[in-house]
Amino acid sequence: MKFSEITGQLKVKHQLAEMVNHARIPHAQLFLGPEGNGALPLAIAFVQYLLCENKQENDSCGQCPSCNKVSKLIHPDVHFTFPVVPKTSGKVPLSDDYMAEFRKAFLENPFLNEYDFLKIIQAENRQGNITALEARNIIKRLNLKTFESEFKITIIWKPEALGKEGNILLKLLEEPTENTVLILVGENQEEILPTILSRTQILKIPSIEDDEVMQELEKKGCENKETAQRIAFLSQGNLRVALQLLHHEEAPLDVELSKWLSATLNNHAVELIHFVDQKSGSGRENIKQYLAYVLHFFRECTMMMYCLQLSPRFTESEQTLAGRIQRFLSEEKLNKLIPIIEKAHYAIERNCNPKLVLLDLSIQMEKILRGKPVYAEMDI
Ligand SMILES: [Zn+2]
């Protein structure tokens, strides 16, 4: 993978290229930033540039034997460590046990997250780990001679999964063997061992800019500019989410929200039940994305109330919808509404029955927006 094949992140790419150009390669770096920012593809593009046999200006050639192997994740001097679960119960797993699956998953979607990968190895309900055995394996691999290149490289994806086992690597981080390059790719600084953090050079990788997300969506075949804009705003610089939304967006989300609000506020029971039935059958990820959109919509409405101006993160049709329901909204109502949508999102994530969650949310939403007491006590 070349730098030029990755969306946005021009500043980071330049920084990484300069490290190679000036032969100032830190022996242990942590690429740190939010999900969907492209940190893992950037780590691979960096390694590809470092090992390229025919370097171009600030990027690899993409064609030499080394580039070819790095881009397919099969270079013998480039190793990967990532969270896994035991393949057979009782056996301590190594990342190598799942290398074929990891390779395939990354090549299909370089912006994948840990959950996507665990789902591919059918372990989505379990916690992935990087074991003590794996940490020792990293040291063993880096002590071997190189096969084809000058460097011995290990990319540790999600060092958050290391836990205390990470301490096994401290000596390696402090006194690295010659020409060793360790790249850690993580998201949550607070979940990474402080002893590891203090021994790595941190490179912060921000979210992707809205206009860059839009360009990528257009490249991926999204012809409608308004849809691309809506997805870009909603995904907040997370390209993984943006691509998922593009894939799932059968009907524009604001049209769905408009139908839902209309059925709820007008007490159209048949329409409401039809909507809930359809939505709850669309799959958990889809429902979560829809609720994330509803949250985004009402949060923007709150901002509009505070700032007394139109939201720049609303498309034209969303402005119209916000205008139509304005008379039902107040700061107080929005402050009640947003937490119950968050709660519903959480409930879906925790595998609660989607039909019950959506129906309950609809009832509560109608009460809040119409100014009725929520969960009014019944007269018996
Ligand atoms: Zn090359």
Write down the pLDDT at residue 194: 94
Write down the pLDDT at residue 250: 58
CATH class of 250-369: mainly alpha
- Residue 364 to residues 37, 46, 134: CA-CA distances in angstroms? 36, 50, 49
* Inter-residue contact 88 to 121 (CB < 8 Å): no
Write down the pLDDT at residue 376: 52
Q: Ligand 1 centroid vs 67 CA: distance in angstroms? A: 4
Query: Residue 153 corresponds to which amino acid?
Result: I
- Distance in angstroms (rounded) separating the CA atoms of residues 25 and 29: 9
Q: Ligand 1 centroid vs 286 CA: distance in angstroms? A: 40
Q: Ligand 1 centroid vs 152 CA: distance in angstroms? A: 17
Q: Ligand 1 centroid vs 65 CA: distance in angstroms? A: 7
Write down the pLDDT at residue 313: 79
Q: Ligand 1 centroid vs 146 CA: distance in angstroms? A: 18
Predicted structure pTM score: 0.76
Q: Ligand 1 centroid vs 60 CA: distance in angstroms? A: 5
Q: Ligand 1 centroid vs 44 CA: distance in angstroms? A: 13
Domain range list for the chain? 3-206, 250-369
Write down the pLDDT at residue 377: 46
Q: Ligand 1 centroid vs 72 CA: distance in angstroms? A: 13
Q: Ligand 1 centroid vs 27 CA: distance in angstroms? A: 22
Identical topology for domains 3-206 and 250-369: no
Per-residue pLDDT of the chain (380 residues; tens, 9 = 90+): 999 999 999 999 999 999 999 999 999 999 999 999 999 999 999 999 999 999 999 999 999 999 999 999 999 999 999 999 998 888 899 999 999 999 999 999 999 999 889 888 988 667 889 999 999 999 999 888 889 999 999 999 999 999 888 999 999 998 888 899 999 999 999 999 999 999 999 999 999 999 999 999 999 888 888 889 888 988 889 999 898 888 766 567 888 899 999 999 888 888 899 899 989 988 887 888 889 889 999 999 998 888 777 777 788 888 888 988 888 999 999 999 999 999 999 999 888 999 999 999 999 999 999 988 776 544 44
Write down the pLDDT at residue 309: 75
Write down the pLDDT at residue 379: 46
Q: Ligand 1 centroid vs 155 CA: distance in angstroms? A: 19
Q: Ligand 1 centroid vs 1 CA: distance in angstroms? A: 10
**Coil, helix or strand at residue 10:** helix
Q: Ligand 1 centroid vs 61 CA: distance in angstroms? A: 4
Q: Ligand 1 centroid vs 63 CA: distance in angstroms? A: 5
Query: How do residues 186-206 score in pLDDT, each as one tens digit?
Result: 999 999 999 999 999 999 999
Q: Is 103 exposed, middle or buried (0-12, 13-18, 19+ CB in 10 A)?
A: middle
Token output for 317? 């049709």
Write down the pLDDT at residue 375: 61
Up-side HSE of residue 106: CA atoms within 13 Å toward CB? 22
Q: Among positive and negative, which fits the CA dihedral 169, 177, 53, 205? A: positive
Query: How do residues 258-300 score in pLDDT, each as one tens digit?
Result: 999 999 988 888 889 989 998 998 888 788 888 988 999 999 9
Residue range 3-206 in CATH 3.40.50.300: yes
Q: Ligand 1 centroid vs 66 CA: distance in angstroms? A: 6
Write down the pLDDT at residue 249: 62
